[in-house]
Amino acid sequence: MNKTTIRIPFVDLNLQHQPIQRQLEQAIQSVLAQGDFILGQAVSDFETAFAAASGTEYGVGVASGTDAIALGLEACNIGAGDEVILPANTFVATLIGVLRVGAKPVFVDCDRQTALIDLEAAARAITPRTKAIIPVHLYGQMVSPRQLLDFAKTYKLLIFEDAAQAHLAQRDGYRAGAVGIAAAFSFYPSKNLGAFGDGGMLLTKDSNIAQKMLRLRNYGSTQKYLHIESGTNSRLDTLQAAVLREKLPHLPKWNSDRLSIAQQYDLELLPLASAGIVPMQNHSGTGHVYHLYVIRVDDSCPLERQQIQDKLTALGIQTGIHYPIPCHLQPAFTNLGYQLGDFPQAEKLAKQILSLPMYPGLSNSQIREVVTAIASILSSEKQQLLYI
């Protein structure tokens, strides 16, 4: 075996769980003692707590972020005959949610500096059938709520937030999940707030949408064996809710750790700007919750993103790419009729972006080690160029 030892992992969940391990075990134990595994007390407690923390009214826990999108769109009466605008450079689950309700996904390009949806491009994609826009608060930064609300008002559209990467993010005085008619969150383990398995939630201020969501996740029923509409089985497990409820009070601190780490990366990476290493821009001050810390390996860099990633891996530094293939170029969705060249910014970013290690507990010296490694990879390339 010739496997490099990992010096700096991409994420380390143990660092956040160890200090509160006893409380987490107790939370799990108490569910075992109660035996209320399905829609138990911890589910409604956590729904209330997460909705309040996000500055909105109702939370409905479901089995995953993907279900929060698909069932949430259905609860908002978005479906067949409707067009839904979404960014091409999102995780595929955003698209899958739209397809599951039978609506037509309409992709738009993104801004190169932030990777967030380009609202001017979105305006050009509107047709008489456009019903909603799904802003994806990508990497932990919200799409500007002020611009979004203006946009939605001008074109009379619904805003359905994909906030799977943006728990407690803020911008323009709004919190993620409190901007649109509804918002979907994921509690996949590595998200800013993660369960010990899958989980998701829909947040909304609208009690009718919340009521409908409660039915949809539970076979279309709120009263046992009475079904006034169809639905599915997609509930947040009581065990997961108990874990999430225990972790929620720690989230502001974890998010502020992420912000400090990002600020240090920004600072340390500054000298590499002239070599074409450019961090994604933060346009939301302290409200960015840095689910991911993403740099761009620009055209001016002597190396390709892939070469840099491979060399970092060889040095024991794990990185990621979010995401290497934009949705419109995924083999599964060629039937949507898009092709290479349709979204130049998204396509270019897919080739240039690199996500660096980011998690609460990542130390100053580790951040420095990552940046030093990138710098040395670049300078050895420069040396080689000089000696050719």
* Closest distance to ligand PLP from the beta carbon of 51 (Å): 18
Angle subtended at Cα 352 by Cα 351 and Cα 358, rounded to the nearest 5 degrees:
120
Closer residue to ligand PLP (CB): 184 or 354: 184
Is residue 129 within a helix (H) or strand (E), and if so which, with residue range?
A: none
Closer residue to ligand PLP (CB): 187 or 265: 187
Residue 232 CB neighbours (<10 A):
16
Give the ranges where the chain is alpha helix by DSSP (H).
14-17, 21-34, 41-53, 65-75, 92-100, 119-124, 145-155, 207-216, 238-247, 251-269, 305-314, 344-352, 364-387
Closer residue to ligand PLP (CB): 237 or 277: 237
Q: Calculate the CA 226 to chain-centre distance.
A: 36
Residue 266 CB neighbours (<10 A):
15
Closer residue to ligand PLP (CB): 90 or 130: 90
Site for ligand PLP, rule CB under 6 A:
64-66, 90-91, 93-94, 136, 162, 164-165, 186, 188, 198, 200
Residue 226, strand partner residues? 223
Closer residue to ligand PLP (CB): 179 or 378: 179
In whole angstroms, what is the distance from residue 347 CA to residue 248 CA?
36
* Closest distance to ligand PLP from the beta carbon of 361 (Å): 21
* Closest distance to ligand PLP from the beta carbon of 301 (Å): 27
* Closest distance to ligand PLP from the beta carbon of 314 (Å): 28
Instruction: Name the residue whose CB lies closest to ligand PLP.
Output: 65
Closer residue to ligand PLP (CB): 197 or 276: 197
* Closest distance to ligand PLP from the beta carbon of 386 (Å): 42
Angle subtended at Cα 259 by Cα 257 and Cα 263, rounded to the nearest 5 degrees:
115
* Closest distance to ligand PLP from the beta carbon of 134 (Å): 9
Q: Calculate the CA 324 to chain-centre distance.
A: 15
